[in-house]
Structure 1
């Protein structure tokens, strides 16, 4: 199996994409994804709990990016109320990002591995992301014209 790591903008358009084997931890992919996207300093990076690690937080701080990685409870210790509130605030924005995955699955039957091999799967992921961005663009342009 394979994992698709996607960096999107606040409107859900795909900016960068990395495909890894399924046995690769999510925490390892975040720095490579950010390097690929060339984010400017001061930008908030929102990510799910899979990317939560001290190393990733330090990496984001070193690049001048705002750490918006959802917090994960440590074994035998629950999250405090302030940490839960932090996760709720992040999740309200992340739902727009997660919509990208749902739309790719719904519109293009994404998530199915049609080819064997990491390179071929990565190519499929890129084509799905391009098709998604092209399908979303007219609607976003109309919304920009309305403002």
Structure 2
């Protein structure tokens, strides 16, 4: 989502663009946590995997914290890829103007990430 747009209002448009089939889990951080988004996901037959956010002045219950931990275990596998791209290739910065050129930059960063990891993956695969 763009920096000038709140995450909570952008979720329905993102789901529409991705054309997810029913039964798919949608994992997202606390920025997308809202009753409206949860109802939207349920209405589309999608599994709500949005991390829960504490209400001001109240803490999350132990079951809510456990729910967030389960989601975090899966999300960290995805988020570490973006963190590695930022660390290794200074990703997260737009070097070009325009959506098409920025998209090309992101694709090239993802390809470079895969190439950097390839030798380690081949060694691990050879051990198995």
Alignment TM class, shorter chain as reference: 0.7 to 0.9
The answer to whether the Cα contact below 8 Å between 1:52 and 1:71 also exists between their aligned partners in 2 is yes
Alignment size in residue pairs: 128
Rounded Cα–Cα distance in structure 2 between residues aligned with 1:144 and 1:56: 40
Q: Which has the higher helix share?
A: 2
How far off its partner does 1:83 sit? 0.6
The unaligned stretches of length 5 or more in structure 2 are none
**Structure number with larger C-alpha Rg:** 2
TM-score by length of 1: 0.68
Aligned in 2, Cα 1:88/1:136: closer, same or farther, shift over 3 Å? same
The answer to whether the Cα contact below 8 Å between 1:49 and 1:70 also exists between their aligned partners in 2 is yes
* Aligned: 1:120 with 2:63: no
SS in 2 for 1:126: helix
Q: Which has the higher strand share?
A: 1
Aligned in 2, Cα 1:133/1:57: closer, same or farther, shift over 3 Å? farther
Superposed CA offset, 1:19-69 (max 9, x none): x43121111222222222211111111111111111111111111000010
Rounded Cα–Cα distance in structure 1 between residues aligned with 2:60 and 2:108: 39
* Aligned: 1:80 with 2:72: no
Aligned in 2, Cα 1:57/1:133: closer, same or farther, shift over 3 Å? farther
The answer to whether the Cα contact below 8 Å between 1:45 and 1:67 also exists between their aligned partners in 2 is yes
* Aligned: 1:43 with 2:24: yes
- Provide the alpha-carbon RMSD of the alignment: 2.9
